Chain A
Amino acid sequence: MKFSYFPGCTLKTKGKDLDIFARKSAEALGFELCELADWQCCGAVYPMAKDEIATKLSSVRALVSARDEKRELVTLCSACHNVIKQVNNDMKTDADIALRVNNYLDLPTPYNGETTVLHYLEVLRDRVGFDKLKAAVTNPLKGRRIAAYYGCLLLRPSKIMQFDDAENPTILEDFIRAIGAEPVTWGMRNECCGGYIAAEDRAQAEKRSSTVMEDAAKNGADTVITACPLCLYNLAKNGGSDLPVVYFTELLAEALGVK
């Protein structure tokens, strides 16, 4: 199984662990992530305005590259996934945006949202299968109590992301069970960490992130997992807690014995 792969800016810098452990685990599980040539930063936030075109172009370029490689496009960072999937939806469903983007890009074949965008977790669930993952685990994380932090961007807007039930998701809990650990039941798993507000209003980020971390600790978690470098930063740095926050791929690699 080969997939086109969009790592994104942070996975080459502060978020290297998210990428490295994902690649090692993919190898162990028998699928290949083929990094797109010359990919450009997605912009990290989906441009919601109908009259924003330039800010959507880098996502469209990635989508077009995957289409031309005839592969599904895999993302790993929650923000990249959200931006690229929402832009793809615009190209599929918003004729005005699609027309203006195609007029600008002047591609040999116009693009209208043909590429399938998958998050790495969806590859594990829908292409590999959690049963196969479970069978491939050599070092089950027995006795570990993991809190799955979804945050916002994997789940919402749910009509477009179609990742899981946005209010009662299970994919990360199923992942945790597959690697032999126990998922914690808690309420704040799909509430915001504060996101980019940390740049100019750290106090607000601290309020948001500490609410999340207190809830994870109160419910007996020994670790919090995330797929987002900005969530990881906020929860670990602004969450006021000693509870470790790690990328889900790090635990995956540990369970597969390739860490």
Chain B
Amino acid sequence: MSHSNNATEQVLRSSGVDVRKCMRCGKCTATCPAFDEMEYHPHQFVYMVEKGEIEKLAASPSIYKCLSCFACVDRCPRGVEPAKLVEAVRLAVIRQQGQNHMKPEAIPAMLDEDMPQQLFVSAMRKYSK
């Protein structure tokens, strides 16, 4: 099994998503609040994972643009849940040694006095292992 097949297997297993259920309606991308920030959009995550193009997704800043709002999860008429693929690809990246996307030492420069603890707890959970 090639490296790419292994990566695809891992993303499918970790996300629990059945990409074959997708009927290409594009509703996930239409409803995504981060749509215009993304190089690859939610519907592209679905078919690129199906085609095994994990490396392109893993190298894209798109994996850090998802807001985890669950809009695509809730509004998909086929129950595909694309956000789970974005999360699985991001985890495959940040779980590697040295690949944390947000580092604690970078946080002081981002702070303002009103920021709730919840903001950095969630950001660190999303961006770092």
Contact A157 B73 (CB under 8 A): yes
Of A10, A157, A201, A237, which one neighbours B118 at CB under 8 angstroms?
Answer: A10
- In the complex, B122 has a CB within 8 A of chain A: yes
The reply to whether A195 and B74 form a contact with Cβ atoms under 8 Å apart is no
Is A200 within 8 A of B102, CB to CB? yes
Q: What residues on B are CB-neighbors of A10 within 8 Å?
A: 116-118
- The answer to whether A45 touches B117, judged by C-beta atoms less than 8 angstroms apart, is no
Q: Does residue B67 face the partner (Cβ distance < 8 Å to A)? A: yes
A57 to B68: give the CA distance in the assembly, Å: 20
- Expressed in whole angstroms, the minimum distance between the Cβ of B102 and any Cβ of chain A is 7
Interface hit among A21-29, A48-56, A121-129, A170-178: A48-56
**Residues A196 and B112 in contact, CB atoms below 8 Å apart:** no
Nearest-CB distance from A99 to chain B (Å)?
A: 16
User: Which of B71, B118, B119 has the most C-beta atoms of chain A within 10 angstroms of its own C-beta?
Assistant: B118
Interface hits, B70-110 → A, CB 8 Å: 70-71, 73-74, 83-84, 87-88, 91, 102, 107, 110
Give every chain A residue within 8 A of B34 (Cβ-Cβ): 197, 204
Inter-chain CA distance A169–B37, complex, in Å, is 28
Contacts of A51 in B (CB 8 A): 13-14
Q: Which residue of A lies closest to B66 (CB)?
A: A197
Question: In the complex, what residues of B have CB within 8 A of residue A153's CB?
Answer: 70
Residue of B nearest to A208 (CB): B33
Would you call A233 and B14 a contact (CB within 8 A)?
no
Q: Which residues of B contact A166 (CB under 8 A)?
A: 74
CB pair A198–B119 under 8 Å, yes or no, is yes
In whole angstroms, how far apart are the Cα atoms of A232 and B114 in the complex?
10
A51 to B92, CA, bound (A): 11
Whether B16 is near chain A, meaning CB under 8 Å from some CB there, is yes
Cα of A9 to Cα of B16 in the assembled complex, Å = 30
Chain B 1-25, CB within 8 Å of chain A: the 1/0 string? 0000000000001111000000000
Q: Does B56 count as interface, using CB distance less than 8 angstroms?
A: no
Q: Does B30 contact A (CB under 8 A)?
A: no
**Contact assessment for B112 and A49 in the assembled complex, using a CB-CB cutoff below 8 Å:** no
Q: With A and B bound together, what is the CA distance between A152 and B64 in angstroms?
A: 18
Compute how far the CA of A55 lies from the CA of B129 in the bound complex, rounded to whole angstroms. 10
* B115 proximity list for chain A (CB < 8 A): 14, 198-199, 233
Collect the chain B residues with CB atoms within 8 Å of residue A77's CB.
118
Complex A-B, nearest 9 residue pairs according to Cβ-Cβ distance, in ascending order: A156-B70, A44-B122, A192-B69, A44-B121, A152-B69, A229-B116, A196-B122, A14-B116, A196-B123
Residues of B within 8 A of A (CB): 13-16, 33-34, 37, 64-65, 67-71, 73-74, 83-84, 87-88, 91, 102, 107, 110, 112, 114-123, 125-127
- Can you list 18 A-B contacts (CB < 8 A)? A9-B117, A13-B117, A45-B122, A46-B68, A48-B87, A152-B67, A191-B33, A191-B69, A191-B71, A196-B126, A197-B65, A199-B119, A199-B120, A208-B67, A228-B118, A230-B118, A232-B116, A233-B115
Q: A: which residues have CB within 8 A of B?
A: 8-10, 13-15, 41, 43-52, 55, 77, 79, 152-153, 155-158, 166, 191-192, 194-201, 204, 208, 228-230, 232-233, 236-237
